[in-house]
Amino acid sequence: MCVHEGCVANPNARKRMSVSAKSPPSPAAPAGGVPAIPSQKLTVVEANAMNDDEKRIKHLEMIQAVVTRLAGNSFSMKGWCITLVTALIALSAKDANWRYAGLALLPAIFFWGLDAYYLRQERLFRKLFDAVRTENKLRYFGMNTSNVADLVASWPRVLVSRTLIGFYLPVLLAVGAIIVYAVRHQPAPQTTTPASIVSRQ
């Protein structure tokens, strides 16, 4: 017996209700309110192209991480250079000894060469980034920069580049000026008169 009103008067309503009861429920809508759309099958060509894009993006992310780390190393080299040079100059002024100021030249020269090495490596990986981004026939996840070494200046040229000359050359000139000033104004050694000579006089 149908408990709904109008079922007896309209027999088609009972048929529609039975069909709706047998039909499967519609897929639940996600939190955004849009019903879920079944995924479409991709062709083999499209799947391979998507995989290549994912590999390329992952490879670029790896290279970008190396570039970021190398740029941070270059910044650290400059910071350590200034710290050590300032400490040695302060020690020279405290003890009135120009030799400590002369030692300040060593870290400046050392960090200059090391900074040039990191800067060249950074440029190599930037060229590798461009190669991975533009070329199609390339071995993914390779980090060898020998293929792009000809596109980057050598270490001696990077050493005298404007990026490094503008920082380390003023540091060396300042240290040299401090050494010259310390040598010229170094106090003369005091001569002590023996007590026996004083007693005779």
Q: In the chain, what is the greatest distance between 2 CA atoms, to the nearest angstrom?
A: 150
Query: What digits encode the pLDDT tens for the residues 100-110?
Result: 888 899 999 99
What is the residue range of 52's domain? 45-184
Map tokens 């050590």 to a residue: 84
| Domain assignment of residue 61, yes or no | yes
Tokens of 182: 């310390």
Percent helix, percent strand, percent coil in the chain, to nearest 5? 70, 0, 30
Q: Count CA within 13 A, CB hemisphere, residue 140.
A: 12
Measured distance CA(129)–CA(116) in Å, rounded: 20
Other C-beta atoms within 10 Å of 92: how many? 21
pLDDT in tens, 60-97: 899 999 999 999 998 899 999 999 999 988 888 776 67
Q: Return the exposure string of 142-164: e unless at least 16 CB atoms fall within 10 Å of the residue's CB, then b.
A: eeebeebeeebeeeeebbeeeeb
Residue 4 belongs to a domain = no
- Total count of residues recorded for the chain: 201
pLDDT at 143: 86
Return the pLDDT at 192. Answer: 57
pLDDT at 44: 44
Q: Is residue 10 part of a domain?
A: no
In a domain, 38, yes or no: no
CB 125: neighbour CB atoms within 10 A?
23
**Which regions in the chain score pLDDT beneath 50?**
1-9, 13-24, 26-40, 42-44, 46-48, 198
Whole-number Å distance between alpha carbons of 44 and 122:
38
The number of folded domains in the chain is: 1
Token pair of 9 as six digits:
């008067």
- Residue in the block written with tokens 């670029």: 60
The confidence score (pLDDT) of residue 150 equals 92
Whether 6 maps to a domain, the answer reads no
The pLDDT value recorded for residue 7 is 47
Q: Give the pLDDT confidence score for residue 27 in this predicted structure.
A: 46
Question: Does any domain span residue 19?
Answer: no
Count of C-beta atoms within a 10 Å radius of residue 201: 5
- Within 10 angstroms of residue 111's Cβ, the number of other Cβ atoms is 23
| Strands (E) located in 46-199 | none
User: 């990026």: which residue's tokens?
Assistant: 163
Token digits for 84? Answer: 């050590």
Angle separating helix axes 105-134 and 44-95, nearest 10 degrees: 170
